[in-house]
Amino acid sequence: MCGIVGYIGKRDVAPLLLEGLQRLEYRGYDSAGVVITSPKATGLKMVKAKGRVRDLEARVPKRFTGTTGIAHTRWATHGAPSDENAHPHLDADNKVAVVHNGIIDNASELRAKLIADGVEFLSETDTEVLTHLIARSDAEKLEDRVREALRHIEGTYGIAVLHADFNDRIVVARNGSPVVLGIGEKEMFVASDVAALVSHTRQVVTLDDGEMATIKADDYRTYTTEGSRTTASPTTVEWEAESYDMGGHDTYMHKEIFEQADAVDRVLRGRIDDRFSTVHLGGLNLDAHDARKVRRVKILGCGTSYHAGMIGAQMIEELARIPADAEPASEFRYRNAVVDPDTLYVAVSQSGETYDVLAAVQELKRKGARVFGIVNVVGSAIAREADAGVYVHAGPEVCVVSTKCFTNTTVAFALLALHLGRIRDLSVSDGKRIIAGLRQLPAQIEQMLEREDEIKKLAQEFAEAKSMLFIGRVRGYPVAREASLKLKEVSYIHAEAYPASELKHGPLALIEPALPTVAIVPDDDLLEKNRAALEEIKARSGKILAVAHQEQEKADHTIVVPKNENELDPILMGIPLQLLAYHTALALGRDIDKPRNLAKSVTVE
């Protein structure tokens, strides 16, 4: 999705902005642009290009100097990817420049009015409307011009505005799309994602919705869109610039798969309470009294986070014996759901910015529900909107395809399930058993990743498949769903996930040698049932790859995964399938970190 970066200070701004844009590339985009000025300059200088940041860089002229600027990577919504539609957008006098993330819902109506008033548009974007509105204001201060323009806007925005007549400042505003200020020594940064600024400063101020800020080289001020001052103190970002580097791996996806043992170690750190065989979840704000009143848990998330939620719901039912289910937040928000006061709602999001999840949280809160967040990015919109929550501490995930955040989210759910369970009927010995299982996870992950070569060989075979079936039963089913999503999004091979129990109700018709099946076969009480499904597939000459705790006779190949406690097995069983998706995509020459048509944080509808 779109990205914003801005700088004001003494340094040469263009290289800084281009570096910032490169750090935002992982979010997905189709064009980029930059506009700069300096205190002594009389105007704005702008360059834009369809394509990658390197295409933009190639167009930047030699004498493109300045000390203040804003830049953008665009993900097309209104108008195709093109030089003209790339941001920044300028007004007719080349005085106002705007970069914008989000969507202006009433853009066509505003555009029609402006055209009727004689304004000429140079792009098809919704953002250009905002530029002209700011340019038409005759308020004395830039802040008031921006404020006046925003009053006409319906929709979501994170914006940064530069004005040739006010070139000692950048004005920014947020409503539904993140804006973060980076506080430096006599220099200030602005970005839509801390990734763009952590190599320069780790002191940040995250704006709230309805907040604006003026940044100058040595000062910043925050206030509401109505003009009242707000107090926003800087916090320190825990992620370091190096966490965004590739660290010797060829892709971020590979790096992030291999970071999982450390990441799991982090989500567990400081949270296990051996004395009472439970866990401390500081951010949860749920005392035992309230926890006992919870009659249901409803988990909401999208894509991979939804799958982590499905695993979480099973853990909560098994360990805490509270009815729980997961639903795509993108569906939930549109179905006028019955909101029940005794239900604990849990919103799951790696980025903490996914619009469908955020909208579901806002709807729930409006109806008086209590919402917990399980989120990776500290200070993100969902983390701020939720009443309480748990951070998953996976570290920054740069690859568009989620791996380590998925695993850490499932571990966070195990912690929540254990916590709720031990307040209710989970025994001390079961608590101990789960804790021992959790502690084993990092070493077991390492063990599994050592089998990369074996999985790589298998991937060469699977790269030839046109389509694949993933099956699992109960604990294995969400694992199958996630593995199928991973494969399709990164390799573009069609894949479908089905409960193994449903095979005979339809999908068996598909089985033939050219359709490989990946079967999740944990050593649990359903082992024999799963084996029966393998028999059924084999009887129809289907090729089978099993992910299991022991060799499966009916499978053509078994990836043997270390056994943990039954309830925790799903956390581990998906990991070899991340590697399978990775190596299949590699064999097919795919753009692994930036699969086509996908973006890292889906901040629009």
The answer to whether residue 380 forms part of the interface with ligand F6R (CB under 6 A) is: no
The answer to whether residue 517 forms part of the interface with ligand F6R (CB under 6 A) is: no
| In the complex, minimum distance from the CB of residue 412 to ligand F6R, in angstroms, rounded to a whole number | 12
Q: Which of 299, 392, 468, 602 binds ligand F6R (CB under 6 A)?
A: 602
The answer to whether residue 347 forms part of the interface with ligand F6R (CB under 6 A) is: no
The answer to whether residue 575 forms part of the interface with ligand F6R (CB under 6 A) is: no
Task: Read off the DSSP letter of residue 155.
Answer: B
**Which is closer to ligand F6R, CB of 303 or CB of 478?**
303
Which are the contacts of 545, defined by CB distance < 8 A and separation ≥ 6?
458, 462, 516, 517, 518, 519, 555, 556, 557, 558, 559, 580
The full 3-state SS of 4-25, as one line of letters, equals EEEEECCCCHHHHHHHHHHHHH
Which structure tokens are listed for 387? Answer: 């009443």
Q: Which of 156, 277, 402, 444 binds ligand F6R (CB under 6 A)?
A: 402
The answer to whether residue 37 forms part of the interface with ligand F6R (CB under 6 A) is: no
From the list 8-16, 89-97, 343-351, 558-566, the region that binds ligand F6R by CB under 6 A is 343-351
- Which residues are annotated as catalytic? 2, 600
Q: Are 271 and 281 a contacting pair, CB within 8 Å?
A: yes
Task: Read off the DSSP letter of residue 284.
Answer: G
Q: Which of 125, 351, 484, 517 binds ligand F6R (CB under 6 A)?
A: 351
From the list 113-121, 263-271, 345-353, 446-454, the region that binds ligand F6R by CB under 6 A is 345-353
Q: Which of 17, 153, 261, 302 binds ligand F6R (CB under 6 A)?
A: 302
| In the complex, minimum distance from the CB of residue 347 to ligand F6R, in angstroms, rounded to a whole number | 9
**Which is closer to ligand F6R, CB of 88 or CB of 303?**
303
| In the complex, minimum distance from the CB of residue 497 to ligand F6R, in angstroms, rounded to a whole number | 14
Write the single-letter amino acid at 472.
G
From the list 283-291, 300-308, 465-473, 505-513, the region that binds ligand F6R by CB under 6 A is 300-308
Report the chain's C-alpha Rg in angstroms: 25
Strands 370-375 and 343-349: parallel
Task: Read off the DSSP letter of residue 504.
Answer: G
**Which is closer to ligand F6R, CB of 20 or CB of 303?**
303
Which are the contacts of 427, defined by CB distance < 8 A and separation ≥ 6?
none
The full 3-state SS of 339-393, as one line of letters, equals CCCCEEEEEEECCCCCHHHHHHHHHHHHCCCEEEEEECCCCCHHHHHCCEEEECC
The answer to whether residue 578 forms part of the interface with ligand F6R (CB under 6 A) is: no
- How big is the site for ligand F6R, counted in residues (CB under 6 A)? 14
Which residues ranging from 119 to 178 are in contact with ligand F6R (CB under 6 A)?
Answer: none
CB atoms within 10 A of CB 597: 8
The answer to whether residue 357 forms part of the interface with ligand F6R (CB under 6 A) is: yes
**Which is closer to ligand F6R, CB of 85 or CB of 304?**
304
Which residues ranging from 455 to 514 are in contact with ligand F6R (CB under 6 A)?
Answer: 489
| In the complex, minimum distance from the CB of residue 573 to ligand F6R, in angstroms, rounded to a whole number | 17
**Which is closer to ligand F6R, CB of 125 or CB of 349?**
349
Q: What are the C-alpha distances in Å from 451 to residues 91, 561, 583?
A: 58, 10, 12
| In the complex, minimum distance from the CB of residue 333 to ligand F6R, in angstroms, rounded to a whole number | 13
**Which is closer to ligand F6R, CB of 89 or CB of 298?**
298
| In the complex, minimum distance from the CB of residue 357 to ligand F6R, in angstroms, rounded to a whole number | 5
| Helix, strand, or coil (residue 101) | strand
Which structure tokens are listed for 584? Answer: 């299949």
Q: Which of 303, 328, 421, 570 binds ligand F6R (CB under 6 A)?
A: 303
| In the complex, minimum distance from the CB of residue 245 to ligand F6R, in angstroms, rounded to a whole number | 21
Got the DSSP string for 106-146?
THHHHHHHHHHTTPPPSSS-SHHHHHHHHHH---SSHHHHH
Q: Per-residue x/- marks for ligand F6R, 63-102, CB under 6 A?
A: ----------------------------------------
Q: Are 74 and 87 a contacting pair, CB within 8 Å?
A: yes
Q: CA–CA separation, 96 vs 164, rounded Å?
A: 7
Write the single-letter amino acid at 36.
I
Write out the E strands in 140-275.
157-163, 170-175, 180-183, 188-191, 203-206, 211-216, 219-224, 229-230, 235-236, 272-273
The answer to whether residue 354 forms part of the interface with ligand F6R (CB under 6 A) is: yes
**Which is closer to ligand F6R, CB of 206 or CB of 601?**
601
Which structure tokens are listed for 395? Answer: 């570290």
The answer to whether residue 260 forms part of the interface with ligand F6R (CB under 6 A) is: no
From the list 92-100, 346-354, 437-445, 514-522, the region that binds ligand F6R by CB under 6 A is 346-354
Return the bridge partners of 188, or none.
8, 183
Q: Which residues in this chain contact ligand F6R in the complex, by CB under 6 A?
A: 302-305, 349-351, 354, 357, 401-402, 489, 601-602
